[in-house]
Amino acid sequence: MRVHVLDPSAFTPPYDRALCAALTRAGADVELVTSRFAHGPPPPVEGYAVRERFYRYTPGRPGSSARRATKLVQHVPDLLRYRPSGQAADVVHVQWLTIPALDARLLPRGRALVYTAHNALREDAGAGERRMYRRADAVVVHSVAARERLAAEGVDTQRLHVIAHGAFDYLTRLAGERALAGELAAVREPVALCFGLLRPYKGIDVLLEAWRGVGAGELWIVGAPRMDIESLRASSPPRVRWVPRFLPDPELPAYFRRADLVVLPHRRVDQSGAAFAALAFGRPLLLTDVGGFRDLANAGAASLVPADDPDALRSELIRLLEDPGAREHLAEGARAAAAGSYAWNAIGEETLALYRSLVG
């Protein structure tokens, strides 16, 4: 079976490439159709083809207005150029929509079309996204909560399929893994790690308020800001370290290996790449009781607290940082989840079975 996995903006290379490798191991002939990833080397290719058919002219730095403008200008011509080659695939599996209102209309026709709604729980899905839900032969979501949300919005439940997001185990076997910088490597106290792009919905303000009552350990907040963090940094309580930049893959393992606890206090979420990195390293998780995080708790890998509740978060931070046995219990759950329902081989087989059900 020939499969095209489409991520024009190279929005999630780790997910795209892990899925492509898993599908290849399951027996599919896979091509990843994407663009060049601007933030460093992506995960290595494992048996599938990669075609960088989108946005070949990229002036300016990543995220700049010049880069965004030229990307938008190129998008429709690039998508139209892709359409004929898309006819060679049995299945076109779209991961992300660059211009939802146009993409839903211009994607190849006459092929089985699958769409993964990575952010199905967000509140600002527009008409283009909803059009894609209607047009796709199957819509993949990563959590029970996402399936329930789309079903409530009128998406045909027969076309909704819950397939887990896998643990990012490729990070555990990177060549050229980099050690922590000296100041971080010298820390001997327990470390709570909050990792990922820094956005308002991720509850960094709640985490800082909760940390004010934590008596031991350090909190590391690591990731590139996508919001103004100056006031948060200025008012941070003691024993908080900020690493406010994008980290390329070779730097990530050292942070997760060092973390005694990974804490992600999101206000809303479907799933989180940081959580799946934590699973891969067998790290215990402290999460909020929202969206797909409940699935990780049900797997035994995470403890949950209510969102936007600094008192509850503080209590659980203190409990877990002071109790190595409680952390190890969650770590055992994380390792079991990464080897079981969140393993990419199982996900590849399940996804390929979905494709076969569409093409006969």
The domains of the chain are located at 2-166+343-359, 178-339
For the chain, the first-to-last Cα distance in angstroms comes to: 11
Residue type, 227: M
Residue type, 285: L
Provide the pLDDT for residue 7: 97
CATH number given to 2-166+343-359: 3.40.50.2000
Write down the number of H helices and E strands in the chain: 14, 13
Residue with tokens 């990669």: 50
The two domains 2-166+343-359 and 178-339 share their CATH topology (first three levels equal): yes
For 198, the 3-state DSSP assignment is strand
Taking alpha carbons only, the member of 58, 109, 65, 115 closest to residue 87 is 109
Q: For residue 55, what are its two tokens?
A: 């946005």
| C-alpha to C-alpha distance for 295 and 176, rounded to whole angstroms | 33
CATH fold for the domain made of 178-339? Rossmann fold (3.40.50)
- What does the pLDDT profile of the chain (360 residues) look like in tens digits? 999 999 999 999 999 999 999 999 999 999 999 999 987 788 999 999 999 999 988 777 776 787 778 888 899 999 999 999 999 999 999 999 999 888 989 999 999 999 999 988 765 667 888 899 999 999 999 999 999 999 998 999 999 999 999 999 999 999 889 999 889 999 999 999 999 999 999 999 999 999 999 998 999 999 999 999 999 999 999 999 999 999 999 999 999 999 999 999 999 998 899 999 999 999 999 999 999 999 999 999 999 999 999 999 999 999 999 999 999 999 999 999 999 999 999 999 999 999 999 997
What's 116's DSSP letter? E
What residues have CB less than 8 Å from 65, skipping those under 6 apart? Answer: none
Q: Is the dihedral of CA 316, 322, 326, 327 positive or negative?
A: positive
Contact (Cβ atoms closer than 8 angstroms) between residue 198 and residue 222: no
